[in-house]
Every structure is written in structure tokens, then in C-alpha cells.
Amino acid sequence: MSNNDRRRDAISKELDDCLERVETTPDGRRIWRELYYAQPLGHRALTMSLSVPPAQEAPPVVVYIHGGGWMFGHHNVQHPNLVQMRLFDSLAAAGYAVARISYRLSSEGHFPTQLHDCKAAIRYLRHYARLFGINPDRIAALGESAGGHLALLLGLETPPAFEGEVGITGASSSVQAVVDWYGVTNLLTIDSQALPDSRVTHGSAESSAGRLIGGAITDRMDAACAASPITWVSEGAAPCLVQHGTADAVVPPDQAREICNALTAAGVRAELELIDGADHCFLGVDTAAIVPRVIGFLDSALKDRSS
């Protein structure tokens, strides 16, 4: 064994120690606050947190993917409007384990780097499902904005090159349900669909989308097409709930209509809920009904499905 191999094995052992650092809360939840799920060469270690509620049977898992234009953000930080919606408390009360994952941002790698990382996180959870006490056959992805885009891609049948080789390999990275909150679905149509008061132009090299694919959309058409969930819609896609504001001045609501129409045409269960008057992050409206709708969808897609 070479010195590099020994060093890599030692680092791997150090990172795996996180599996033993679990807390139990008074209500019986088990919490891993920092799990190291992958160590890409030359990059920071990728982390997630995991909360598992007490349950007689292994609970299903919701994997939360943060937004931030693929340029910034953290899995333990949310927009204040989303914080007040109490998504994670509601999921725990409904009997769901919740994993909140990190991924490399666009300054650390162009697409599909971000998807490689999300798939590695799913494989990690499935590999250690018995240790965590979670159900490896009932995993949902829920993302907001950039995270919604990645959640959609996790639920689609994408090329082998999108799987990546970071972290644990061999296990499936599939998910059984997707919840997309105002994610980008088609980079080729997004600017033409912009609302009159749009705050964002997506096509330039300096935009968040341009940074994701490594250049202006018109110069990187193949990359833009590959990064668009609409490209990979097929009958094998996971059931999907899309919630999107009709007044979203960042990601136009026609992006939601477009992906749901395509999924429905392919014979996939796709539920579209347009939130009247809501801007990006569901700003400007009463959000009380959004999370219960999510839990109802997840219950029907995960808990009510046959094993």
C-alpha cells in the first residue's frame, strides 16, 4: 500500500467517526449534527445533518437540498420566510427522518458536480440505513430554488455520467418522491418566460445559471440542455409535487407549468400547486397551507406505497 493510500484510509477512518456522534433528545429523536458523507479529492468534505424520530418501524426519509443559486447557501440555513414555515418540525411530527445535505457550489465545480454530490448523499443514507434506523426504500428529495432543481434531477432517469464517483458507490441513488419549491426546470426557456417585473436575467455568463454551466446559455447550449430537468423527463420519473408562486420574479412560474406538463404527458404523477401572489421563497402570502400539502403528498407517495 502506498503512502497516499495509507493517508487516504486514515482520513476515511477519521471521517467515519462521525457515525458514532449521535445525540438523543428528550422526545426520543436521534440526531447526527455533522455526518461526513464524501471527501472529493482537492475539495472540502461534504456534510449533512440527520434527525430520526422515534418510531416502531424504520421511518421514511426526506432529503432537504438548500437553495442559493448554486453559488451560496448552507444546509443548516434557510431564508427567514422558510424558517417560519417550520418545515423540519412538521416533518418530524409526521414521522419523517430529515437529512439536510451540503453540495459543492458552482465556484467549486460546474454541473453536474452538484448532482454528483446529491447522489452521493442518497447513497450514503441508503448504505447506512440500518445504523441510522431509516427506511432505504422510501426516500424523498425536497429542494428549494437551486435545491428544487437538484431535487427534480434526483427523481429523473439521468445518464450514468451524472452518477459521479464521490463518496460511497454501488448503492442506488434513486428517490421515490420529489418536492420542488420554485426550482429551475428549463434553462433554454427561462428568460423568455420571465414576468414583467423579473429581477433576474439567467442567460449571461455572470448569472447564477451561467456560473453553473460555465458560460452564457447561448454559448453553452448543450450544457444548458443537460442541466435542465425537462431534458430527462421519462415515464420512469418519481412522483412529483411542484409548488411555485405566481408572482415569482426570480424563477418564472411557467418553469413549474412546463415540467409538470411534461411529466404528466409521460404518464408520471405530477401535482402542480401555484401559490397565488407568492414571490420567490413564497414571500408575500400566507404560507400556512404549504407544508401540510407537502406532508399529504409525501404520505401518499411514501407511506401509502406498497413495500
pLDDT at 11: 58
Query: Using CA atoms, how far apart are residues 242 and 262, in angstroms rounded to an integer?
Result: 13
Specify the pLDDT at position 15.
82
Q: What is the predicted pLDDT for the residue at 112?
A: 98
pTM confidence score? 0.95
Taking CA atoms, 46 is separated from 63, 117, 161, in Å, by 15, 8, 20
Q: Residue 243 belongs to what H/E stretch?
A: strand 240-245
Q: DSSP secondary structure string, 62-126?
A: EEEE--STTTS--TT---HHHHTTTHHHHHHHTT-EEEEE----TTT--TTHHHHHHHHHHHHHH
The mean per-residue pLDDT over the stretch 234-258 comes to: 98
Strands across the sheet with 240-245, in order?
Answer: 23-24, 30-38, 46-52, 97-101, 61-65, 139-144, 177-181, 240-245, 270-275
Where in the chain are the domains? 23-303
pLDDT: is 44 or 233 the higher one? 233
* pLDDT averaged over every residue in the chain: 94
Confidence band, pLDDT 50/70/90 cuts, at residue 278: very high
Which segment of 72-76, 221-225, 253-257, 282-286 scores lowest on mean pLDDT? 72-76
Residue 307: its pLDDT value, please? 45
Q: Could you say which of 3.20.20.70, 3.40.718.10, 3.40.50.1820, 1.10.260.40 is the CATH number of the domain covering 23-303?
A: 3.40.50.1820
Percent of the chain with pLDDT over 70: 94
The predicted-structure confidence for 111-127, as pLDDT tens digits, reads as follows: 999 999 999 999 999 99
Q: How many C-beta neighbours within 10 Å does residue 170 have?
A: 7
Report pLDDT digits (tens) over 191-220. 999 999 999 999 999 999 999 999 999 999
The helices-and-strands tally (H runs, E runs) of the chain is: 10, 9
73-101 pLDDT, tens digit per residue, is: 999 999 999 999 999 999 999 999 999 99
Question: Would you give the distance in Å from CA 189 to the centre of its chain?
Answer: 22
